[in-house]
Amino acid sequence: MNKQDKHTSFHPQTVDKQIDAYLAGRSANGQESDRYAQASVHDVQAYFAPPEQDEALQRVWQRFAAQRTNLQRLQAGQQTPQVLPITGRGKSTQQKNTRPLGRVLSVMAAVIVVALLIGSTMFLFQQARQTGNPAGQGHHQTAMFVRVNQTLYRLDMQTHRPLWQFQAPPGQPGLATFNGPYIAGMAIDSTYYAWGFDGQQVVLYALDIANGKLRWQHDTYGIGPIAASGNMVALPFIKGTNLEVTALDIIHGTSRWEHILGPAARTKTLPSTVSLFGASDTAVYGAVNTPENHSGLRFALSVQDGQFIWQQKEVYDASISYATLDQGFLSDDILCVIQHLNWQNPGHIPESKSVILGYDAHSGKQLWKSSSIDWATTTTLVDGVLYLETPPNSVGTPYKSIYAVSSRDGSLRWQYQEPIQNPYPFITKEGVYFIQDGGKQAGSTLVVLDPATGKPRWTYAFHDSGTVEFPPVADDNQVYLSLPGNIIQILRASDGKPLGSFKIDPQNVKPNNRILLQIVEL
């Protein structure tokens, strides 16, 4: 095609005829394809320029609007849809957009229309939406990890065969094996972080997710959340007599900066603690708790040099015997902190409660405080909602609760209370998954709740009461349940229909070994 032919093909009159041909060939059953087309045009418009700078894309939107009107008339039984002309057709996009950017946008809009006609647009703009993801996949990729016999495996998501395996180096603390919210490890960007523990020493291992090779290891004072931002990862420390936060390079593990938060007040029962909640592009968020002084500190440190961006001191009521800040989450521009309080009531009976506080992540100003609930043992943030699990409210009572709380204002969305066998529910955008104990006769049941309402979606019963130690895991399509005998049961996520099962490295994993599964987004 020569230069003159190119300009002729992208002339507004020619583009309008192409749009007419496309819309005229659509029917009432073609709405799904139109939605894909409109999404693609929207991506281009949002990426390249504001609407006022691009007349060509506005012409496309006008035609979509006209077509929607005609489809509505067709569905109402009024008349066969007609393709409506665009008013002001004589105005040329080339004439209006005199700047180089305008000319580029005009040509780009025309190319989009032509691409829609030949059915190739979705590939082009899925690539723009999902940089680095192959076409045809979802908005995120997932990876499956397995912990068994102090060995960490990464499995292929399709074949479930090991891609690699990792064991702690000789003479170093082995991978922690007891259950807990952080024992499974954390996957952040291209690094998988796993804790080793030998009863005294705690070590953080940083592995390359792609091949499982050990990048570096670093001593730390406890197993708990870490915070990563860009090319650094921050860890809490007790170094000598001080509470510190240390930032390390994610590839080499070398020190980037250290920040001393204050002295580590130590008593036999009430030690000082430092917790990290997460990180943004600019800040690392966390808290210090000093029970001995009935005080605490919430802070934001600069990612660049570890200096305070803001700090908020807190003094607890003298009646509170112990307060901890175990978990926190960054949800958009709000820092959510789960605060645990212990005290004795007038009858000298110990009581424990949890409250959630919301802070402006930029200034540290408190925005809201939730009503108190029973002590929350685990908390998960998914899609702007905090899901908290509380233990039985009295000795011998098997009932636990799951609360769903908005991270925007601390309001309660729903509460679920039933006998829950496993202490760590697994939560995704698609469901809340946990094991419900029905007793020795009834066995156990996998229960899936709607995360929006807290209502059960489906259940899956299996006779394995008292032996399922670990929670189920799930991705968008499948649920994985770890059963005795090294059996991983696969269920369909939409309705719980069994799809099959597989075993983990059967030559090396014994049937009586317990399997801890983990699925993470990369």
CA distances 277 to 217, 312, 361, Å, are: 21, 15, 11
pTM over 0.75: no
Token readout for 191 is 């690094």
Q: Are 270 and 215 within 8 A, CB to CB?
A: no
Better-scored residue on pLDDT, 451 or 89: 451
263 membership: H or E segment, kind and range: strand 255-263
Residue 102 pLDDT > 50: no
CA distances 361 to 30, 302, 337, 426, Å, are: 45, 12, 11, 27
Short-list 240, 237, 163, CA closest to 204 = 237
pLDDT at position 314: 83
Short-list 115, 98, 102, CA closest to 41 = 115
Residue 492 pLDDT > 90: yes
Short-list 312, 360, 320, 317, CA closest to 336 = 360
Q: For 426-480, what is each residue's pLDDT tens digit?
A: 999 999 998 887 655 567 889 999 999 999 999 998 866 455 667 889 998 999 9
Strands (DSSP E) along 332-485, which ranges?
334-344, 350-360, 366-369, 373-374, 378-382, 385-390, 399-406, 412-419, 426-427, 432-437, 444-449, 456-462, 473-474, 478-483
pLDDT at position 220: 85
The residues that bridge with 460 in the sheet, in sequence order, are: 446
Region at 13 (left for phi over 0; alpha for psi -120 to 50; beta for the rest): alpha
Strand, helix or coil for residue 12: helix
pLDDT above 70: percentage of residues in the chain: 62
pLDDT at position 126: 32
**Cβ count within 10 A of residue 79:** 9
pLDDT at position 273: 83
In whole angstroms, give the CA distance from residue 272 to residue 30: 63
pLDDT at position 70: 52
105 pLDDT tier (thresholds 50, 70, 90): very low
The residue-averaged pLDDT of 199-214 equals: 92
What would the 3-class secondary structure string for 76-141 be? CCCCCCCCCCCCCCCCCHHHHCCCHHHHHHHHHHHHHHHHHHHCCHHHHHHHHHCCCCCCCCCCCC
In whole angstroms, give the CA distance from residue 65 to residue 41: 13
Token readout for 289 is 């708790």
DSSP state of 226: -
Q: For 39-59, what is each residue's pLDDT tens digit?
A: 455 444 444 444 444 555 555
